[in-house]
Amino acid sequence: MKSICVYCGSSPGSDPAYMAAATAFGRLLADRGTRLVYGGGDIGLMGAVANGALERGGQVVGVIPQALLDLEVGHEGLTQLHVVKSMHERKALMAELAEGFVALPGGLGTFEELFESLTWSQLGFHKKPVGLLNVGGYYDALIAFVDHAVEASFVRPEHRALLMSDPDPVRLLQCFDIWEPPKIDKWIREGQE
């Protein structure tokens, strides 16, 4: 893949493994020649993933709303920084610039971005892989909840399969490399409209 969008926290989190994994993932992307697209911040996991890629000479493209840039959280050393007006523009441009989406540990913003990308895939708005880098089991409960939604018939199994997960970044990216979008005719079953 030529470019991957990474969603992750603007906080470092409570476990140093999160920051280490973000830095390592940025390095891995650079080593693979994969451009990093992310939210443009210079703090928390966002800064770590960008700095990891930059350390290895990788291309890093940030997309940040002006309001966040005004709070002085923008990264000043990126290959390219797009400043947009809103969070909606940010997410749309990040999606346009990327060939796949990976969520590292993060908070509500990361969850929202992840599920929007997943929903867009479900609806056929894009045919790009979506995955979780499940560092230290961070996403175990979220994965279990999505599986529960399948059991409760709110998520179809074929849509559940759109979300990949692995604690190993190399294996996750290998899954991305061979991923083919499923052929799903309708996302709502007859009688559920």
Looking at CATH, the fold of the domain delimited by 3-178 is given as Rossmann fold (3.40.50)
Find the distance separating the first CA and the last CA of the chain, reported in whole Å.
Answer: 36
Which residue is listed with tokens 């000043």?
76
Contact 59, 35 (CB under 8 A): yes
Contact 7, 101 (CB under 8 A): yes
Which residue is listed with tokens 């749309």?
92
Contact 104, 98 (CB under 8 A): no
C-alpha to C-alpha distance for 158 and 27, rounded to whole angstroms: 32
Integer angstrom CA distances of residue 75 from 2, 42, 50: 22, 4, 8
pLDDT of residue 96: 97
What is the separation of C-alpha 157 from the centre of its chain, rounded to a whole number of angstroms?
Answer: 21
Domain range list for the chain: 3-178
pLDDT of residue 113: 97
Instruction: Per-residue pLDDT tens, the chain, 193 aa: give them.
Output: 999 999 999 999 999 999 999 999 999 999 999 999 999 999 999 999 999 999 999 999 999 999 999 987 899 999 999 999 999 999 999 999 999 999 999 999 999 999 999 999 999 899 999 999 999 999 999 999 999 999 999 999 999 999 999 999 999 999 999 998 877 665 555 555 4
pLDDT of residue 186: 58
**Which residues, 6 or more positions from 100, have their beta carbon under 8 angstroms from its beta carbon?**
1, 3, 4, 5, 128, 129, 130, 131, 176, 179
What is the separation of C-alpha 88 from the centre of its chain, rounded to a whole number of angstroms?
Answer: 16
Select from 127, 135, 114 the least CA-distant residue to 49: 135
pLDDT of residue 160: 95
Select from 72, 71, 80 the least CA-distant residue to 53: 80
